[in-house]
Amino acid sequence: MRIGVYGGSFDPVHNGHIAMIRSALKSGFIDCVIVIPSVRNSFKLYTNKLPAPYRFYMMKETVEGLGLKNCYVSDIEYSIEGVSYTAVVLEKLTSDAYIRDFLTDNGVKRKKAEEHHEFFWIMGSDTLGTFETWYKPGEILNYATLLAAVRPGDTTDVDKASSSIRKNLGGRVEIFRLDGVECSSSEITTSGDFSKVPDPAREFIKLHALYTENTKLAGVSEDALKQFYDSSVWMYHYLGAKRLLHTLNVGYLSAHLADVFGCDKDKALIAGALHDCAKELPLEKQTELAREYAGSLFTEKKLLHSPAGASFASEQFGIKDKEILDAICYHTTGRGNMSILEKVVYLADKIEPSRTYTDLTPIREAAEKDLESAMRMTASAVRDKFVSQGRDIHPMTLLMMKDLGM
Ligand SMILES: [Fe+2]
Ligand SMILES: [Fe+2]
């Protein structure tokens, strides 16, 4: 098979990316495209970028939603330590074992004779001129042919750049014509005009309230940003799509609420983002981890993930700050004498943007101005739910309610 590989940040994916995929497939050089949203690329490691899982799932939903045939999204960069240079990604992707499993998992039918694969690295012709300065360009060319798109109105001297690469590095370069619009992700996010973003991605952005003031994380320290991005990659291995995006949304909203109600924004971001990190661990593991953090305080199955999450975040992800760990531990039940940070995470968990279980507008409005009142409204909804299900309210939730004057 002739496989095109298309890497990028896709922050967000836009119609130019889709045109690139469609034109590459039409070029006659390749049979399918594997899209790889970056996890950690060499530029701007942690600044101003959506955590990798958002960009990965946004791309997946876009490919599925648009019904793009012969196009598959790969999470290969999640299993690469450190910066995901093209040479490193291609080394792994082109290995027999990886590509066989990837194609099989994606239901790509092929005959035995088609198990020999040829790879093409898809790129814009404007980057051809700088290709020789990339990390290990010679190795890239050992794994793949460069497949460069000539954009409409492109003034790059494609022939000169290709012959220099051929002469200096001895690789293959092919050119194809790109039919489609010119746009850039940074222009979209700066202008706030999302009209050049495909519908499925636009819905995804709306659902999770991305590219808003809250997701800019103004005032958050470099260290906390790094921890936030790294935790999103770490949790990718432990949580399914919906839960992972939920827990990251809680991170963003907690950081915003920390601004509104005056607690540490770095801590709110991290506690919120990690609050559900243990929720999909096997129950036995949750029980063991929960006991380590909180003894026998929590026994109900549904609650175990909260103290277990505190242990897990501490042991596996190196979070040692007690205030952060407590905010994770008590996010489901609350407790007496809650700190502002604990309240912020408790609240954000119930009302983050992708929560749609009931009309949350009144609580969301209250959460912009009055923490106690938003907490009371939330606690009262929790109480109603428990009563309707005939369940006992946890003693620590009762203490929280008492503090709230309920
Ligand atoms: Fe939870
Ligand atoms: Fe949650």
Q: How far is the CA of 164 from the centre of ligand 1 (A)?
A: 56
The one-letter code for the residue type at 242 is K
Ligand number nearest to the C-alpha of 302? 1
Ligand in closest contact with the CA of 286? 1
Ligand at shortest distance from the CA of 332: 1
41 Cα: distance to centroid of ligand 2 (angstroms): 29
Nearest bound ligand to the CA of residue 352: 2
Q: What is the Å distance from ligand 2's center to 101 Cα?
A: 33
CA 153 – CA 189 distance, rounded (Å): 24
What per-residue confidence (pLDDT) applies to 112? 74
Q: Separation of 3 CA from ligand 2 center, angstroms?
A: 39
3-state SS record for the chain = CEEEEEEECCCCCCHHHHHHHHHHHHCCCCCEEEEEECCCCCCCCCCCCCCHHHHHHHHHHHHHHHCCCCEEECCHHHHCCCCCCHHHHHHHHCCHHHHHHHHHHCCCCCCHHHHCCEEEEEEEHHHHHHHHHCCCHHHHHHHCEEEEEECCCCCCCHHHHHHHHHHHHCCCEEEEECCCCCCCHHHHHHHCCCCCCCHHHHHHHHHCCCCCHHHHCCCCCHHHHHHHHHHHHHHHCCCCHHHHHHHHHHHHHHHHHHHHHCCCHHHHHHHHHHCCCCCCCCHHHHHHHHHHHHCCCCCCHHHCHHHHHHHHHHHHHCCCCHHHHHHHHCCCCCCCCCCHHHHHHHHHHHHCCCCCCCCCHHHHHHCCCCHHHHHHHHHHHHHHHHHHHCCCCCHHHHHHHHHCCC
What spacing in Å lies between the alpha carbon of 332 and ligand 1's midpoint? 6
Kind of pairing, strands 71-73 and 2-8? unpaired
Q: Residue 110: what pLDDT?
A: 80
Can you give the pLDDT at residue 180?
Answer: 76
Residue 33 has phi, psi (to 5 degrees) of -125, 135
Nearest to 348, CA basis, from 240, 220, 214, 235 = 214
- pLDDT for the residue 41: 66
Residue 111 makes CB contacts below 8 A (sequence gap 6+) with: none
Q: Give residues with Cβ within 8 angstroms of 297, minimum separation 6.
A: 307, 396
What's the confidence (pLDDT) of residue 357? 76
Phi, psi angles (nearest 5°) of residue 273: -65, -30
What's the 331 CA to ligand 1 centre distance in angstroms?
Answer: 7
pTM for this prediction = 0.95
Q: How far is CA 304 from CA 33, 249, 329, in A?
A: 42, 21, 9
Q: Ligand 1 mean position to 76 CA, how many Å?
A: 28
Please count the other Cβ atoms lying within 10 Å of the Cβ belonging to residue 113. Answer: 6
Q: Residue 164: count other Cβ atoms within 10 Å of its Cβ.
A: 16
Structure token pair of residue 130:
């700088």
Distance 344 CA to ligand 1 centre (A): 14
- Which mean pLDDT values do the consecutive 10-residue runs of the chain (406 residues) have? 95 96 97 94 65 97 98 96 90 95 91 84 90 94 96 78 92 91 87 96 98 94 92 97 98 98 98 98 97 93 96 96 98 97 98 89 96 96 91 94 96
Residue of 111, 112, 92 lying closest to 102 (CA atoms): 92
Q: Rounded to the nearest whole angstrom, what is the distance from the C-alpha of residue 36 to the centroid of ligand 2?
A: 28
Cβ neighbour number for residue 340 with a 10 Å cutoff? 17
CA distance readout (Å), 250 to 74, 92, 104, 354: 26, 34, 35, 10
Burial of 292 (0-12, 13-18, 19+ CB in 10 A): middle
Measured CA to CA, the distance from residue 92 to residue 85 in angstroms comes to 11
